[in-house]
A and B are shown apart, each in its own frame.
Chain A
Amino acid sequence: MTVQNEWDKKALKAAEDALGMNLNVIIWDPTKLNAMLAAKNPPDVVRGFGATETPYFAARGLMTDLDPYFAKSSALKVSDLDPVNDVWRYDGKKQGAGPRYGMAKDYSQDSMFWYRTDLFEAAKLDAPSATEPISCDEWLDLGKKLVKRRLGKVKVYGLNATGMGVFPQLMGMTASAGGSLFAEDLATVDFSSPEALKALRWYLDYAKADIGPSVSNPNPDGWDGPTYQANRMAMSCNGYWFGGLIGGDPKLAAVSRFAPAPQLGSHRVSSCFGATGFWIPRDAKNKEASWKFFEWYFGGKPAQERAASGWGIPSLTSLRSKMPQTSAFQKQAFQVQEKELPHFSVLSFTPYAQQAALEGVLSKVLPAALKSGTSAGVVADTLNSRMNEQLAQGKELVG
């Protein structure tokens, strides 16, 4: 089960020839996946977000432990795995340890951001540093200066602060302020802690400023690509992978630059919220064939081509040298990315709820709070109450 755009007829034929087996592609659909898992008739391999999905599926015993497969593989060596692959590990208590349940195809540090030099120049603003992260307050301030309005409507967004969802972004900001959104046992959230409250207050200020897509005014495009490309967004919070889109458009590449993840506090944290890859369901019927696909897709020609494309950092360290560094744009992005890598860390996600459930609570509570001008403290209490209720229900089921 995977996304459609990667598997046109030609690619599918090439894959079948390379693997010597027939592939039946089921278009990725979380609803269908849930139904197939519930019916114990899952696909042989499933595309997913390692960072946010691994604890949920692993805690329910739905994933295959891949350690024995790695142990006997000559194509995929654990020693060659980038640390990002730890988001696909879960030991029953925390993410980043325990058996490996999947592997990332590539990844990014998703709190980093891209900006357009032409819009910075037009606003007579200095470009952000390529090595030192700016503070979130400076980031918001830049966004306010870069936004362009006409008749009260935003024509050019100053900033989109959440490329991979609001909840992970709040997790990352809280971590950079020195706290944690989840309790140690991952069974509750605490938006009332000083660090989380600071992150929440920042997001409410951002949404109130109306300088970019937010819970009360989502981007109709669904993602930043078309908006950024159409000169309608000055800064876009997306990781290295977004450079694949920018690099495909020379005019856009000429005016685009990459910057480190802004920090809310003094803790330099730059996490990954996706690490998209594949996993093998426990009830999959063709596990040997699934692993054969793994070896080819993650260690063979497709992996090499992906590494050279600029759509994300390869998840094998041996492929890092293939990352594109030809044009000035590619060189700048690569250098900024290299300097950011040491600050990567795994932020554990809860096994008791899916990200969609927590995003659902945010999208219900925050717009109403923004409209009524509710204080961040009260919003935090509401979020705690509603999310913890959901987490408690999930915990009851997982045990």
Chain B
Amino acid sequence: MSTEQITAPGAPSPSGETAARPGPGTGVRADRRRSSLTTRRAFSFYAFAGPWVLGFLALTAFPLGYALWLSLTNSDGLSNNSHFVGLANYREVFTDPETLSSLARTGVFTAISVPLTLAAGLLLAVLVNQPIRARGLFRTLLYLPAVVPPVGAALTFKLIFDRDSGAANGFLDALHIDGVSWLMDPYARWVLITLTLWGAGNAMIVSLAGLQDVPKELYEAARIDGANTWQTFTRITLPLLSPVLFFQVVTGIIAAVQSFLPLLISLDPTPRGVSAVPEGNYLFMIHVFAQYFANGRYGYASAMLWVLFLIIVLITFLVFKLSRGAVFYAVDPEPDKPSRPRTLGGK
């Protein structure tokens, strides 16, 4: 063994003696090496994390901070005379009837569209999980609409539901039924919900992945115990799928409250086009867009976005709290905490 060899303090030496405290020569060298290793590791960490940190600072932290500052001013983005107005914009958010009604409309839209999309995705996932011929083809076809970007899907819907030349009214014409103005009130909100369902392929794929993770032995045991299809679905499939469904509920709510689709299916997706969005589809984000770019109220619109951000945080927190007993985790997410025994179905 060379004198260069390092022996850990307290560890038995090759000669059988316990190593004493490292001597001045070897200990310093070991410390240096350890320190050099730590430095190298730290350097690697910062080198790899650096781009993300820079991206976060430039593209997330700075815009958020700037928007927070804007929300405390009456800025229109273009004039030099904007000034600090304190919390006036936030007070207006909670007193402006139009803002509150658009928020309420967004809540209703979320309450309808999220469960519908979730149910449609789950239903499709269960169907394409069956051992049928050309299963791959069905999966692809059903997922295909979800691959289409929202703008493309909105344009397609605009064409399908166009009053004069759309396929929907063409179909009604063939049945000798008079066509309707689908993109106007009161039909526009149903077109919007249909457009949301158009993207159910995403929910299908996520649910399908969850379905394929359910152990087959559980189904076999249930069959032996005499469980029918519904019982198997509600007692095994749904509980084991609950974390996947929960994930979709959370992300679905966040996406729905930020929905911008109504403007995309309006006549003209510009500040002028905002005025063509029918009342029933005038969601919160459309109002934000109108305040920013039609009314030039950057300050007020920024305050609206901050309020929306806080609402999303609050809803997410509530959903997490309320779902505690309903979501079954195969692996306890909080293993260090004493937890009550969990059973299938969360009971």
- Residues on A lying within 8 angstroms of B by beta carbon are 29-31, 34, 37-38, 57, 60-62, 150-153, 165, 217-222, 226-227, 230, 232, 353-357, 359-360, 362-364, 367-368, 390, 393-394, 396-399
Residues of B within 8 A of A390 (CB): 295
Q: 8 Å CB contacts to A: which residues of B255-275? A: 267-268, 270-272, 274-275
Query: Is the CB of B79 closer than 8 A to any CB of chain A?
Result: yes
Q: Given A153-B178, A230-B164, A363-B275: A222 and B98 within 8 A (CB)?
A: no
| CB <8 Å contact, B270 and A363 | no
| CB <8 Å contact, B294 and A62 | no
- Which of B98, B180, B274, B296: most chain A Cβ within 10 A? B296
B42 CB to nearest A CB, Å? 36
B93 CB to nearest A CB, Å? 15
| CB <8 Å contact, A354 and B275 | no
Distance, CA A150 to CA B163, complexed state (A) = 14
A58 CB to nearest B CB, Å? 11
Residues of B within 8 A of A362 (CB): 275
| CB <8 Å contact, B296 and A357 | yes
| CB <8 Å contact, B279 and A394 | no
What is the chain B residue whose CB lies nearest that of A390?
B295
B65 CB to nearest A CB, Å? 16
Query: Is the CB of B249 closer than 8 A to any CB of chain A?
Result: no
Mask: chain B, 139-172; 1 = CB below 8 Å from A; 0 = not: 0000000000000000000000011100000000
5 tightest Cβ-Cβ pairs between the two chains A and B: A363-B275, A38-B77, A397-B79, A356-B294, A356-B271
Residues of A within 8 A of B234 (CB): none
What is the chain B residue whose CB lies nearest that of A232?
B164
Q: Is the interface of B mostly helix, strand, loop or mixed?
A: loop
Mask: chain B, 298-334; 1 = CB below 8 Å from A; 0 = not: 1000000000000000000000000000000000000
Distance, CA A112 to CA B224, complexed state (A) = 82
What is the chain B residue whose CB lies nearest that of A398?
B79
| CB <8 Å contact, A61 and B181 | no
What is the chain B residue whose CB lies nearest that of A396?
B74
| CB <8 Å contact, A37 and B164 | no
Query: Is the CB of B103 closer than 8 A to any CB of chain A?
Result: no
| CB <8 Å contact, A397 and B290 | no
| Among candidates B81, B181, B268, residue contacting A217 with C-beta atoms closer than 8 Å | B181
Q: Given A220-B162, A399-B81: A151 and B178 within 8 A (CB)?
A: yes
| CB <8 Å contact, A360 and B78 | no
Residues of A within 8 A of B82 (CB): 397
| CB <8 Å contact, A37 and B98 | no
Residues of A within 8 A of B77 (CB): 34, 37-38
Residues of A within 8 A of B276 (CB): 218, 363
Query: Is the CB of B107 closer than 8 A to any CB of chain A?
Result: no
| CB <8 Å contact, A153 and B179 | yes
Distance, CA A227 to CA B181, complexed state (A) = 15
Distance, CA A397 to CA B267, complexed state (A) = 31
| Among candidates A57, A60, A152, A221, residue contacting B164 with C-beta atoms closer than 8 Å | A221
Query: Is the CB of B339 closer than 8 A to any CB of chain A?
Result: no
B136 CB to nearest A CB, Å? 39
Q: Is the interface of A mostly helix, strand, loop or mixed?
A: helix
Chosen A-B contacts, 7 in total, with CB atoms closer than 8 Å, are: A61-B80, A217-B184, A220-B163, A221-B164, A356-B272, A360-B295, A363-B275
B266 CB to nearest A CB, Å? 9
What is the chain B residue whose CB lies nearest that of A150?
B178
| CB <8 Å contact, A357 and B294 | yes
Query: Is the CB of B183 closer than 8 A to any CB of chain A?
Result: yes
B249 CB to nearest A CB, Å? 32
| Among candidates A31, A153, A364, residue contacting B293 with C-beta atoms closer than 8 Å | A31
| CB <8 Å contact, B272 and A359 | yes
B145 CB to nearest A CB, Å? 23
Distance, CA A112 to CA B292, complexed state (A) = 34
| CB <8 Å contact, B78 and A62 | yes
- Which of A220, A353, A362, A396: most chain B Cβ within 10 A? A220
Query: Is the CB of B297 closer than 8 A to any CB of chain A?
Result: yes
- Which of A38, A57, A217, A397: most chain B Cβ within 10 A? A397
| CB <8 Å contact, A218 and B267 | yes
B66 CB to nearest A CB, Å? 11
Residues of A within 8 A of B179 (CB): 153
Residues of B within 8 A of A62 (CB): 78
Distance, CA A240 to CA B163, complexed state (A) = 28
B164 CB to nearest A CB, Å? 7
Residues of A within 8 A of B271 (CB): 30-31, 354, 356
Distance, CA A359 to CA B295, complexed state (A) = 10
Distance, CA A6 to CA B77, complexed state (A) = 30
Mask: chain B, 117-131; 1 = CB below 8 Å from A; 0 = not: 000000000000000
Distance, CA A363 to CA B282, complexed state (A) = 12
| CB <8 Å contact, A359 and B275 | yes
Residues of B within 8 A of A37 (CB): 77-78
Distance, CA A60 to CA B81, complexed state (A) = 9
Distance, CA A220 to CA B276, complexed state (A) = 10
Residues of A within 8 A of B275 (CB): 356, 359-360, 362-364
Distance, CA A233 to CA B181, complexed state (A) = 17
Distance, CA A165 to CA B184, complexed state (A) = 18
What is the chain B residue whose CB lies nearest that of A363?
B275
B41 CB to nearest A CB, Å? 40
| CB <8 Å contact, B296 and A354 | yes
Distance, CA A278 to CA B80, complexed state (A) = 24
A394 CB to nearest B CB, Å? 7
| Among candidates A150, A232, A364, residue contacting B98 with C-beta atoms closer than 8 Å | A364
Mask: chain B, 73-87; 1 = CB below 8 Å from A; 0 = not: 011111111100000
Distance, CA A309 to CA B278, complexed state (A) = 37
| CB <8 Å contact, A397 and B178 | no
B208 CB to nearest A CB, Å? 37
- Which of A57, A153, A165, A360: most chain B Cβ within 10 A? A360
| CB <8 Å contact, A397 and B74 | yes
- Which of B82, B179, B184, B294: most chain A Cβ within 10 A? B294
| CB <8 Å contact, A398 and B81 | yes
